[in-house]
Structure 1
Amino acid sequence: MVSQKLDQLKTLFAAMDRALIAYSGGIDSTLVAKVAYDVLGDRALAVTANSPSLMPADLEEAQVQAAAIGITHEIVATHELNNPNYAANPINRCYFCKSELHDTLKPLALERGYPYVVDGVNADDLSDYRPGIQAAKERGARSPLAEVGITKFEVREISRLLGLPWWDKPAQPCLSSRFPYGEAITLEKLRRVGQAELYLRHLGLRQLRVRSQADTARIEIPVENIKEFVAATDLEALVKALQDYGFTYVTLDLEGFRSGKLNQDLPATVVSPPERSSHDLSACR
């Protein structure tokens, strides 16, 4: 099944002829970049948006992965934090983030002769609350994984099939996702969250979030790892490090890590799945 979808994905890119990939370095957009390069060669370009909401370590990983694939990779700066609609962190914050991204990528694509800008949205994303998807669609971006009907699980299966060593890489959304809706996002807040998560990564954790609320850091790790983490970690050193980064209080979420946890307080009418247009699921499915 996944091999058939991979063939469909290749057919989709062959029909495009040239494509610019909105490449974050995450597992989804990296698979898109890999398949695009395999099909199009130097007619595929991966572009990463660098902003304060992207951890420098994640940018470095994106560069390493692009080099391993062989695709031409460029970095552009985006400035979503300058938009007060974004910085205020409303429930549709991602709409303004993706607006800034695609308002940057679309002119670049047209200037370089790429008729398509594509992203890493997968089929599962269409059933989640993702206001950024609408912003991308409004600017003509396409989502090959979603068009073919490739799920998050299948992204990992296809990546493993292709021998990509990062097939099991944890999801790493932008740092702005660590703040409860309605709490203003600042450069300093983004930096301290990034520093805190990097500290925890250096302790050997892969799946984690540091949620920030006012002056409190709430650490989320998989629930099955909590006991070992508490027993093996120098908690005093951990607290001191995060306080040095700017937090006043440091807590551990006993419910454990869950992606998208901050969406749980949104009204059901907000998080209901968006309607799928005929362009969402093309004939390649």
Structure 2
Amino acid sequence: MNIHDKYKVLQQNLKAMGSVAVAFSSGVDSTFLLKAALEALGGENVIAVTASSCSFPERELKEAKEFCEKNGVRHIVCKSEELDIDGFRQNPKNRCYLCKHELFEKIWEIARENGMNAVAEGSNMDDNGDYRPGLIAVKELGVSSPLRQAELYKEEIRELSKEMGLPTWDKQSFACLSSRFVYGETISEKKLGMVDKAEQLLLDMGFHQVRVRIHGNIARIEVLPDEITKIVEEGNRTKIANQLKEYGFDYVTLDLLGYRTGSMNETLDEKEKEI
């Protein structure tokens, strides 16, 4: 099935919902899903819900607000502080499950208050191949995953987004800042702020896809493999090291394998991935 046929399937599935609350982070997938929902159902039958927390950068919240305002979408921002969830700060291997379960309970409540029949989130087919405990919460709570149901992959979503004129078609992939921590390491507001500032610095310097993983007070930087030579250029190298030390890191390191999703999951064996 080509991407345009997949998009037709997506539209049909969205229309069948009648009305929907879209979990909206302003990322590539949720922006595409929200736009598709607007086309399928019309603005009166769609709301966007964005969760605000210390693990969600201000730049992402700003972009979410701007997109909804520009496209005439009813936008609700709810407070969802993950660090208040029992056990979350200790960063267990099912951290994402704990977060998503509470988040989607809140989104369902908002959906019902606004007369929406369904809640939808933006995971795609590429998310099936990694350790994603949050998807278990999605299934348990009856949240729809229209992009996976239409068998859309990330690159196909980017291609369709470009055709639709969406500003996110080439946006870097993003996951909540809590995913930068080693499992079992305590997550704190201070360290989330360190990671946020470090990643913003790299983005401001023109790096396209970045992660700053935190190991104690050590920063492990991931950039795209073809940007590794750029990051080790003398001016960039010293600037990044000095700035990250100012942010609170003791040591600044570069991962020679480069950026990849879910690198913190590489230390888990199959048994540990069971919830």
Superposition TM-score, scaled by structure 2 size: 0.94
Judged with a 3 Å threshold, the aligned counterparts in structure 2 of structure 1 residues 270 and 124 are, in CA distance, closer, same or farther, namely farther
Aligned length: 273
1:283 equivalent in structure 2: none
- Give CA deviations for 1:217-261 in whole Å, capped at 9, x if unaligned: 111111221112221534333222212211111111222111111
**Deviation of residue 165 (structure 1)?**
2.7
Judged with a 3 Å threshold, the aligned counterparts in structure 2 of structure 1 residues 233 and 63 are, in CA distance, closer, same or farther, namely farther
1:41-190 alignment, distance < 5 Å: 41=42, 42-190=44-192
2:35 equivalent in structure 1: 34
1:249 equivalent in structure 2: 251
Distance 2:20 2:33 in 1: 10
> SS at 2:56's partner residue?
coil
**Deviation of residue 87 (structure 1)?**
1.2
Amino acid across the alignment from 1:107: E
**Pairing 1:11–2:16 present:** no
**What's the RMSD between the two structures over aligned residues?**
1.7
- Give CA deviations for 1:169-220 in whole Å, capped at 9, x if unaligned: 1111000111111111111110110011111111111211111010111111
Distance 2:114 2:272 in 1: 38
Retained in 2: the 8 A contact 1:34–1:71? no
Amino acid across the alignment from 2:8: D
Distance 2:155 2:143 in 1: 23
Distance 1:70 1:269 in 2: 46
Amino acid across the alignment from 1:251: T
> SS at 1:233's partner residue?
helix
1:261-276 alignment, distance < 5 Å: 261-271=263-273
Structure 2, unmatched stretches of 5+, are: none
Retained in 2: the 8 A contact 1:33–1:71? no
Distance 1:201 1:31 in 2: 22
1:210 equivalent in structure 2: 212
Distance 1:149 1:127 in 2: 13
Retained in 1: the 8 A contact 2:101–2:138? yes
Retained in 1: the 8 A contact 2:208–2:224? no
**Deviation of residue 268 (structure 1)?**
2.7
Amino acid across the alignment from 1:179: F
Structure 1, unmatched stretches of 5+, are: 275-285
Distance 2:184 2:218 in 1: 16
> SS at 1:251's partner residue?
strand
Retained in 1: the 8 A contact 2:22–2:34? yes
